[in-house]
């Protein structure tokens, strides 16, 4: 039976072969250089495939890169062997090398062993298991109620646990808590407005301080779905399914505003929550390149899906921040656009009475207050000037179709990251036990 360390190495080989296949299918130059020839060509893969936004990323790209030795297998490109190259600079996502490109490489097995040994426990936070909410207490500066408590072991949702303490088993709505307390104090005239405000303020603090304990795994992970990343991946999968249904409805009826709003809502939520997660994945791969190696095929598939979005026709490089901005603008225009104007309105006042009252010159340097011309109805002009419209950036149905592939690819990448972290945990655990 293969060891866990060997399974990690095999995962890297399989992922590399799959990534090279995807790249070769979209690049005729690689096929021409390899298929039917015995050239000893190699493909050097970069350690990151997406545009690196310095505002969202605080880590530097890893200098450890995979290099695949290529061979012809019928009419297709195959991977004969995989090694690791250190400090070999590359600007593009990949580079085809020939036998003349001489450099030292390290056997994959040695590089994998080095990475497993240096992985560290912090890497396993994402595969930690949530143990539930931590009990907590918040004081209340009121006469009727002096304490609110959170106790996950409570059998009822809301309970009066002593004369001046109310306890909740979960994060219930504010209205439910106040309703329960009001009901209990009905015979005493209910809560005063001041008491309600004090209880509400304390409950807000209790909610803000709510903490769930997470245990970093030390034993075999039996159920990936209960880990932090497992729950995130399942949530992403669920959103992809919802988006697919909404997109199908929009394709069937392009004028259906409800279907369009559902597509916009889900796409916006996805780009808002998942893009930061993807940047987290990139940073993890920067610091722990083994994670990138094990998921290099899913990494490339995500980059390819992002590159198929219609903006590629404009010659732009794929940027996650730009992806998020496109969706955000489309959503803002749809949801924050009630007034029936898609363009700026300009009123011709050349023949109207808008006489100036005064002009102020030579105001103190560095100040802008009260400078310039003041019109007779300046106050009314200032009121009109407050009106604005959402920026209109029409997004085609083709974009929303292509976005489904992006969401699918992100879901697959999340799942592969999860499986990789579990595999690394098992490899570290075996080495430690051994």
Do residues 252 and 151 share a domain? no
Compute how many other C-beta atoms are within 10 angstroms of the C-beta atom of residue 221. 20
Please list the residues that pair with 94 across neighbouring strands.
Answer: 45
- CB distance 57 to 279 below 8 Å: yes
Confidence (pLDDT) at 378: 76
Which letter does DSSP use for residue 48 in this model? -
- Check whether 19 has a pLDDT greater than 90: yes
Do residues 175 and 308 share a domain? no
* Residue 374 falls inside a structural domain: no
Q: In angstroms, rounded to a whole number, what is the distance separating the alpha carbons of residues 293 and 270?
A: 26
Which of 240, 179, 180, 171 minimizes the C-alpha distance to 209?
171
Domain count across the chain: 3
* Residue 316 falls inside a structural domain: yes
The tens digit of pLDDT for each residue in 343-394 reads 677 777 777 777 667 777 667 766 666 667 777 777 777 777 666 655 555 6
The secondary structure of 333-389 as a DSSP string is HHHS--SS-SS------TTS---EEEEE-SPPTT--TT-EEEETTHHHHHHHHT---
Which of 191, 153, 158, 154 minimizes the C-alpha distance to 172?
158
Compute how many other C-beta atoms are within 10 angstroms of the C-beta atom of residue 298. 24
Pseudo-torsion of CA 148, 151, 152, 153, nearest 10°?
Answer: -140
* Residue 216 falls inside a structural domain: no
- CB distance 226 to 130 below 8 Å: yes
Q: In angstroms, rounded to a whole number, what is the distance separating the alpha carbons of residues 295 and 293?
A: 5
- According to DSSP H, which parts of 185-317 are helical? 193-208, 228-252, 257-287, 289-294, 296-307
Instruction: Tell me how far apart the terminal alpha carbons of the chain are, to the nearest angstrom.
Output: 16
* Residue 345 falls inside a structural domain: no
Which letter does DSSP use for residue 46 in this model? P
The tens digit of pLDDT for each residue in 114-139 reads 999 999 888 899 999 988 899 999 99
Compute how many other C-beta atoms are within 10 angstroms of the C-beta atom of residue 106. 15
Q: Band of the pLDDT at 396, cuts 50, 70, 90?
A: confident
Three-state SS at 252: helix
Q: Which of 181, 210, 239 is the last residue of a domain?
A: 210
Confidence (pLDDT) at 103: 81
Residues 6 or more apart in contact with residue 105 via CB below 8 angstroms: 67, 83, 84, 85
**Surface-to-core class of residue 146, CB atoms within 10 Å of its CB (0-12 exposed, 13-18 middle, 19+ buried):** middle
Do residues 308 and 403 share a domain? yes
* Residue 274 falls inside a structural domain: yes
Which of 102, 120, 111 minimizes the C-alpha distance to 47?
111
Do residues 89 and 115 share a domain? yes
Do residues 187 and 289 share a domain? no
- CB distance 281 to 303 below 8 Å: no
Q: Which of 54-58, 98-102, 203-207, 278-282 has the lowest mean pLDDT?
A: 98-102
* Residue 364 falls inside a structural domain: no
* Residue 149 falls inside a structural domain: yes
Domain that residue 186 falls in: 135-210
- CB distance 13 to 79 below 8 Å: yes
Do residues 424 and 291 share a domain? yes
What is the C-alpha radius of gyration for the chain, rounded to an integer number of angstroms? 30
Q: Which of 16-25, 148-157, 351-360 has the lowest mean pLDDT?
A: 351-360
Do residues 149 and 249 share a domain? no
Strand order of the β-sheet with 147-150 is: 136-139, 147-150, 165-168, 158-162
**366 Rama class: left (phi>0) / alpha (psi -120 to 50) / beta:** left
Do residues 60 and 86 share a domain? yes
The tens digit of pLDDT for each residue in 167-190 reads 999 999 999 999 999 898 888 877
Q: Band of the pLDDT at 432, cuts 50, 70, 90?
A: low
Do residues 295 and 413 share a domain? yes
Do residues 142 and 102 share a domain? no
Element (H or E) spanning 85, and its range? strand 76-86
Do residues 245 and 185 share a domain? no
The tens digit of pLDDT for each residue in 73-84 reads 878 888 999 999
**87 Rama class: left (phi>0) / alpha (psi -120 to 50) / beta:** left
């Amino acid at each position: 039976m293969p060891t866990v360390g060997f399974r990690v190495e095999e995962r890297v080989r399989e992922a590399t072969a799959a990534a090279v296949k995807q790249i070769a299918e979209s690049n005729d130059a690689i096929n021409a250089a390899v298929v039917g020839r015995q050239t000893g060509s190699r493909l050097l893969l970069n350690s990151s495939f997406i545009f690196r936004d310095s505002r969202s990323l605080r880590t530097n790209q890893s200098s450890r890169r995979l290099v695949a030795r290529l061979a012809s297998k019928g009419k297709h490109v195959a991977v004969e062997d995989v090694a690791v190259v250190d400090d070999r600079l590359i600007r593009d996502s990949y580079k085809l090398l020939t036998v003349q490109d001489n450099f030292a490489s390290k056997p994959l097995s040695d590089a994998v062993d080095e990475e497993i040994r240096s992985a560290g426990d912090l890497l396993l936070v994402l595969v930690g298991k949530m143990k539930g909410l931590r009990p907590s207490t918040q004081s209340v500066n009121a006469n009727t109620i002096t304490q609110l408590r959170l106790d996950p072991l409570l059998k009822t949702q809301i309970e009066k646990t002593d004369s001046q303490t109310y306890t909740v088993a979960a994060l219930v709505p504010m209205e439910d808590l106040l309703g329960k307390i009001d009901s209990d104090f009905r015979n005493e005239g209910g809560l005063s407005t001041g008491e309600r405000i004090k209880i509400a303020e304390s409950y807000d603090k209790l909610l803000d301080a709510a903490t769930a304990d997470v245990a970093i795994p030390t034993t075999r992970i039996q159920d990936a779905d209960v880990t932090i990343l497992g729950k995130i991946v399942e949530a992403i999968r669920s959103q992809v399914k919802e988006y697919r249904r909404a997109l199908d409805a929009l394709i069937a009826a392009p004028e259906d505003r409800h279907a369009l709003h559902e597509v916009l809502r889900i796409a916006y939520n996805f780009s808002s929550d998942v893009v930061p997660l993807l940047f987290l994945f990139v940073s993890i791969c920067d610091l722990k390149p083994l994670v990138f190696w094990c998921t290099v095929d899913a990494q490339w598939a995500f980059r390819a899906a992002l590159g198929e979005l219609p903006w590629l026709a404009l010659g732009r490089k794929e940027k996650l921040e730009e992806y998020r901005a496109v969706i955000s603008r489309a959503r803002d225009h749809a949801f924050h656009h009630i007034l029936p104007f898609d363009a700026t309105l300009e009123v011709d006042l050349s023949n109207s009475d808008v006489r100036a009252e005064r002009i102020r010159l030579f105001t103190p340097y560095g100040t802008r207050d009260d400078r310039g011309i003041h019109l007779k109805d300046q106050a009314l002009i200032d009121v009109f000037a407050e009106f604005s419209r959402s920026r209109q950036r029409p997004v085609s149905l083709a974009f929303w179709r292509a976005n489904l592939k992006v969401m699918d690819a992100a879901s697959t990448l999340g799942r592969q990251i999860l499986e990789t972290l579990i595999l690394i945990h098992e490899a570290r655990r075996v080495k430690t036990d051994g």
